[in-house]
Chain A
């Protein structure tokens, strides 16, 4: 593994500060959602109501949190919009008939409860929140998994000290998959550097289906101190 670049260290440090304050985001979905990983672009399209279904899962319904650190982090990291801008976007859908304002709930518990009982629902909560009765999704590039099927996934060793201190978050990595299916190169792109080493080590052991050429893609691994 190459050493992180200064910018990555800065981003990682900022995310670490956020994570320590409980600002990491955990993606959750109803059990009807049949995927383990969703790309940032697909997730964004779901929340902007451009996509109404996910592969193999059928209908999908985005669920919003009203406020809170998870909501702020989700807006910043995934949607790249302020809350005010997002509300105006949803109102433009509702007032032209092209969509509706998603279910918006007051707390992580309410989001989990709604997602658990609602077919196709997908939501987000704080990383430290225990999410029972729902599926937890990883953030990655689902398209790449479609191109190069992931055969063997190795879970990372969660550093116990970090887990005990409630430090979690999502590590994003750019990887190069060799035509043989092995992961030839891994570069950390974002997330907590303290978690990055374990994430990179795990991803290097992943095996994909053989392909006609090398494939470059982005993947992520989430560390949940609550689990």
Chain B
């Protein structure tokens, strides 16, 4: 009830803001204000999903954000966005700074931005926390796992980026190179995952230097874009664990931690086709170096959408995740998730939309290692091999 009241208040507030203006003149500069709020309901016929009690139906799927930005000069832009979410056991209404940075663009082909920066990787890494930007309520979870998105979504550091025209017949290139510190949250999926017994593990801190880049080519074929991303990190964490004989110090260090992503996108008027492939490799030393764990994940998806009417868009995707690791829990854990999605999106206007989405999943990924949304701790009676899910979600943004 409290959540519904909060959502209602926020909805009315942002609607009032919308009725006024998104652009406000301050000291002869135009400041743009934008915001959004989303509320979802999820029901699954089998396993609990995304740390929610979805087998009974759950509305613990709320997120919201607000930002302000201003062009100080033609080349210098600053802005920030605050973000808050409650997704089952994650987020728990602890607001975070989603991004906050200064962006200076020397020329079309060279710009820099510094601060807390959304990480450009693949088609949607930087926008995966804002579902209203996509036809789907949930992006393909193999490539964009919602429950651990904090790991990759932003970095505290800087980017070098630019746009290079290759001449009339060759299209153009866009590049981004980044480096910075990982920005995890104690209310994020990675910390939640680490608490999953056995053994009981409590992380005190987790930090990582992240670096990589993205290169995308707007090809001469109108609407066709192809690209490649590389994302690496050196992570270090410490805490305590209890394997049954009392708590002991815990450390973790990555020997190798990277992913490569290849993608393509074709847009033609009302039609859009996306495809991505991501290969992730993680080699970690755990328990103060006593155990080395290697995790090899391969994920891909193909997604299509078509805007039938101005107010209605239909979409579908097939998403595949395969994970190999020697520490996968015993039982029905399959090491894979194959997800077939069907979505209908209704746009009441530019600001308000509703989505109805069905997921037909085979497999539960590898809980405890690389969660695609299923955690053993949320399914005390054991995980079932198949899960069908219904998501109803609405969003207001301005």
A152 touches B (CB below 8 Å):
no
B56 at the interface (CB under 8 A from A): no
Is A213 in the interface zone, CB < 8 Å from B?
Answer: no
Interface string of A46-80 (1 = CB under 8 A from B): 00001111000011000000000000000010001
Nearest neighbor of A142 in chain B, beta-carbon distance = B168
Kindly identify, within residues 201 to 227 of chain A, every residue whose CB is under 8 Å from any CB belonging to chain B: 217-218
CA of A143 to CA of B169, assembled, Å: 10
CB distance from B140 to the nearest CB of A (A): 17
List of B residues within 8 angstroms of A84 by Cβ: 307, 310, 313, 347
Residue A37 lies at the interface, judged by CB distance under 8 Å to chain B? no
Q: Bound complex: CA of A95 vs CA of B81, how far in Å?
A: 8
Question: Is B136 close to A, CB under 8 A?
Answer: no
Q: Check B168 against A41 for contact (C-beta < 8 Å).
A: yes
Q: Which residue of B lies closest to A216 (CB)?
A: B169
Complex-state Cα separation, A20 to B380, whole angstroms: 69
**Cβ of A39 under 8 Å from chain B:** yes
Q: Could you tell me the distance in whole angstroms from the C-beta of B35 to the nearest C-beta in chain A?
A: 9
Residues of B with C-beta under 8 A to A45: 108, 163, 165, 172
Which stretch in B185-193, B263-271, B332-340, B366-374 binds the other chain? B263-271
User: Counting CB contacts under 8 A, is B79 at the interface?
Assistant: yes
State in angstroms the CA–CA spacing of A41 and B69 once bound together.
Answer: 27
Q: Is the interface of A mostly helix, strand, loop or mixed?
A: mixed
CB within 8 Å of A: which B229-288 residues: 267-270, 272
**How far is B174's CA from A195's CA once the two chains are assembled, in angstroms?**
38
Measured CA separation A85–B135 after assembly (Å): 10
Choice from B99, B134, B272, B310 contacting A96 with Cβ under 8 Å? B99
Partner of A81, one of B80, B134, B269, B397: B269
A130 at the interface (CB under 8 A from B): no
C-alpha gap A39/B170 in the complex (Å): 13
The A-contacting residues of B in range 101-158, CB under 8 angstroms, are 101, 103, 105, 107-108, 113, 118, 126-127, 130, 132-134
Choice from A42, A96, A144 contacting B127 with Cβ under 8 Å: A96
Please indicate the chain A residues that have their CB under 8 angstroms from the CB of B77 in the complex.
Answer: 97, 100
Contact between B307 and A91 (Cβ–Cβ < 8 Å)?
no
A41, B168: Cα distance in complex, Å: 7
The one of A42, A87, A96, A100 that contacts B165, using a Cβ cutoff of 8 Å: A42
Q: How far is the CA of A187 from the CA of B397 in the complex (A)?
A: 47
**Does the CB pair B74–A92 fall under 8 Å?**
no
Query: B211-237, CB under 8 A of A: which get 1 and which 0?
Result: 000000000001100000000000000
Among residues of A, the one whose C-beta sits closest to the C-beta of B68 is: A97
Asked if B13 is an interface residue, CB under 8 A from chain A, the answer is no
Q: Which of A76, A92, A144 has the most CB of B within 10 A?
A: A92
Give the distance to chain A from B115, nearest Cβ to Cβ, in Å. Answer: 9
Complex CA gap A177/B158 in Å reads 45
- How many Å lie between the Cα of A104 and that of B272 in the bound state? 25
Are A101 and B118 in contact, with the CB atoms below 8 A?
no
* Complex CA–CA separation, A38 to B108 (angstroms): 16
Interface status of A88 (Cβ within 8 A of chain B): yes
Given contacts A53-B107, A82-B270, contact A144 B168 (CB under 8 A): yes
CA distance A87 to B307 in the complex (A): 13
Interface residues of B (CB under 8 A from A): 22, 32, 34, 36, 65, 67, 69, 71, 74-75, 77, 79-81, 99, 101, 103, 105, 107-108, 113, 118, 126-127, 130, 132-134, 163, 165, 167-168, 171-172, 174, 222-223, 267-270, 272, 307, 310, 313, 347, 350, 397
Pick 13 A–B contacts, CB within 8 A, sort by A.
A41-B165, A45-B165, A50-B163, A52-B74, A80-B269, A82-B310, A84-B307, A92-B127, A95-B397, A97-B81, A100-B32, A101-B22, A120-B74
Known: A51-B165, A91-B133. 8 other contacts (CB 8 A): A41-B165, A52-B108, A85-B272, A95-B130, A95-B397, A98-B103, A100-B69, A143-B165
Q: Which 6 A-B pairs have the closest CB atoms?
A: A59-B74, A50-B163, A97-B79, A141-B168, A96-B118, A143-B168
